[in-house]
Amino acid sequence: MARTTTLSRIAGLLLAIATPTPDWAATPTQAEVMTRAAAMYADRLAGRNINRDAGFTARVRGIASVLIAQAKRDYPDTAAWAWDVHTTDDPDMNADCMAGGKILVSQAYVERLALNDAELAMLLAHEIEHAALHHNLKEYQAALQLEPAWAGRPFAELEYAVDHDSRLMGVLAATNYAQEQEADREGLRLAWRAGWPASALSGYFRKMMRDSDWPRRSKADYPSPIQRWRDAHALADSLQKNYVQPSE
């Protein structure tokens, strides 16, 4: 009997070692968020036609390189990131920067808005700030604070739910709204510190507003295009009047 018990314990231990332990939502880390973002980014690239226009890709990467250099100065942890920049002709997206500096930009969107270099820099800077400010991690942390039951479920489920579970998305709406405002504000400041004129940067929001079918409509998780334009215009005016633009 003792022998059987011992063998059972050994078998149980071996099974526990062999069975992958899920990453629980209760303890997400920035490193984990970045690792998962890198995998999702690779999947996204594999499912799209990327970098088809060499000239456009070079333009995006040139502007992004200046912004990334500034981000590395402003946010030292980003200096160790494996930044990556690609373009797509997907008309159903605009641009994003996933955790860890994984950037994807839609040529169709940039051309539809006829963005000049400063306006493209503003679009990129907004997305870079989402990553540099760890917005994904903070969103997961907010979800766990507001809905503690998620702590007992695998992180992959929470990761999916923040973008697909309507109830959780409603709970997180105010957090996402504030993050969009922060990315607008800090993105403009980032690009301004990198050398672009503040007034030229704010032009992106004017074009974005004019492209919208509902420029005055705010969402629970997103400020209206006209509000974003007004805020950017006010910040640009303040920077030009009250501050000296940094220089290398």
Give a yes or no: residue 14 inside a domain: no
Whole-angstrom distance, CA of residue 219 vs CA of residue 206? 19
Give a yes or no: residue 10 inside a domain: no
Segment among 11-20, 135-144, 179-188, 196-205 with least mean pLDDT:
11-20
Give a yes or no: residue 206 inside a domain: yes
Q: What is the pLDDT of residue 25?
A: 67
Whole domain around residue 60: which residue ranges? 20-242
Q: What is the mean pLDDT of residues 110-128?
A: 99
Q: What is the mean pLDDT of residues 74-80?
A: 98
Following DSSP, what letter does each residue of 70-92 receive, concatenated?
HHHHHSGGGGGS--EEEEE--TT
Does the reported pTM lie above 0.85?
Answer: yes
Please name every residue paired with 88 in a beta bridge, in sequence order, or none if there are none. 50, 106
Q: What is the mean pLDDT of residues 141-155?
A: 94
Q: Is the pLDDT of residue 24 over 80?
A: no
Q: What is the mean pLDDT of residues 204-212?
A: 98
Give a yes or no: residue 163 inside a domain: yes
Q: What is the pLDDT of residue 240?
A: 92
Across the beta sheet with 95-98, what order do the strands follow?
84-88, 102-106, 95-98
**Residue pair 82/103 in contact by the 8 Å Cβ criterion:** no
Reading the block at residue 162, the tokens are 């923040």
Q: What is the mean pLDDT of residues 64-85?
A: 99
Please name every residue paired with 98 in a beta bridge, in sequence order, or none if there are none. 102
Closest CA to 112 of 211, 209, 205: 211
Q: Is the pLDDT of residue 141 over 60?
A: yes
Give a yes or no: residue 34 inside a domain: yes
**Residue pair 191/115 in contact by the 8 Å Cβ criterion:** no
**Residue pair 62/193 in contact by the 8 Å Cβ criterion:** no
Q: What is the pLDDT of residue 242?
A: 87
Give a yes or no: residue 15 inside a domain: no
Whole-angstrom distance, CA of residue 212 vs CA of residue 205? 11
Number of domains in the chain: 1
